């Protein structure tokens, strides 16, 4: 079943009466609405009930959320806990994750604390609006919530596509991810989320000094701070440490001095 947007004056011809879910469309002539079909009921009550539920979902008001935090701030655990709560309450939800994070061979979202859940992959060239639209049309069920892990790896275009899903279908989409990279620069996906999200929430964690962490510092095998390299380098505690800005600066200075001493000794 195709989703289309129509001006009712175009689909209700002179002398033609189209009834959709018991509503006379001609009464709303000139108003712009989103229709799943312009066909009358087909006599299949279950099918018609699904269509009507999906039609009414179009009037829901959804929100785009961005929940960000440094590595180790329990973002993924929060996502998985939220998914469990939705499941317990019988709500329709979907978990998704960019496939750029290749530490997992299976399509799962896994937390450091050991819990996991199946998810749908998002590829770099995925059109998220078309992907989700096709899913809703095929299943005739609009998800209540979509939960996305590692959202910083999405492209700005994909964030725009998610925003369209929120606006067109009234779905709530929650994106969990990092705000900045190891050089303290915004990820492109995170930048677009900061620009478009209805609600932005920081998931706070604490540096070893007691201050709030804001830097996802990259380290080498000796624990020295790394300041150069590709923006994306997948890794865990062996490659990254979450620090406050002050500790990040001090450790960069220490690493620079340590390397300078080694150079002079040579």
Q: How far apart (Å, rounded) are the C-alpha atoms in residues 102 and 260?
A: 35
Q: How far apart (Å, rounded) are the C-alpha atoms in residues 229 and 93?
A: 37
55 and 36 in contact (C-beta within 8 Å)? yes
Give the position of tokens 């009037």: 59
Q: Which of 29, 116, 150, 195 is catalytic?
A: 150
For residue 195, indicate whether it is catalytic. no
Q: DSSP letter at 145?
A: E
Cα-to-chain-centroid distance, residue 198: 13
Look up residue 227 and give its two tokens: 């300041």
58 and 168 in contact (C-beta within 8 Å)? yes
Q: DSSP characters for 234-258?
A: ---TTTEEEE-HHHHHHHHHHHHHH
Counting every residue written for the chain, the total comes to 266
Q: How far apart (Å, rounded) are the C-alpha atoms in residues 59 and 180?
A: 35
Rounded (to 5) percent helix, strand, coil in the chain: 35, 25, 40
240 and 219 in contact (C-beta within 8 Å)? yes
Report the catalytic residues: 150
């Amino acid at each position: 079943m195709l989703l289309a947007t129509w001006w009712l004056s175009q689909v209700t011809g002179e002398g033609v009466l189209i009834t959709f879910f018991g509503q006379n469309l001609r009464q709303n002539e000139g108003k712009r609405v989103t229709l799943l079909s312009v066909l009358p009921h087909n006599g299949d009550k279950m099918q018609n009930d699904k269509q009507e539920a999906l039609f009414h979902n179009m009037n829901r008001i959804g929100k785009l959320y961005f929940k960000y935090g440094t590595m180790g701030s329990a973002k993924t655990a929060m996502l998985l806990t939220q998914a469990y709560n939705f499941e317990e309450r019988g709500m329709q939800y979907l978990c998704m994750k960019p496939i750029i994070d290749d530490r997992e061979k299976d399509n799962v979202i896994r937390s450091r604390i050991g819990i996991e859940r199946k998810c749908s992959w998002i590829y770099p060239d995925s059109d998220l609006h078309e992907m989700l639209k096709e899913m809703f049309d095929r299943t005739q069920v609009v998800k209540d919530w979509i939960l996305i892990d590692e959202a910083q790896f999405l492209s700005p275009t994909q964030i725009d596509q998610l925003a369209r899903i929120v606006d067109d279908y009234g779905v709530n989409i929650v994106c969990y991810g990092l705000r900045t990279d190891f050089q303290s620069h915004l990820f492109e996906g995170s930048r677009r989320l900061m620009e478009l999200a209805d609600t932005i929430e920081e998931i706070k964690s604490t540096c070893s000094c007691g201050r709030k962490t804001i830097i996802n510092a990259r380290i080498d095998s000796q624990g020295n701070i790394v300041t150069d390299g590709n923006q994306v380098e997948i890794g865990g505690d062996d490659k990254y440490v979450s620090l406050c800005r002050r500790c990040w600066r001090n450790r960069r200075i220490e690493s620079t001095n340590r390397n300078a001493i080694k150079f002079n000794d040579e």
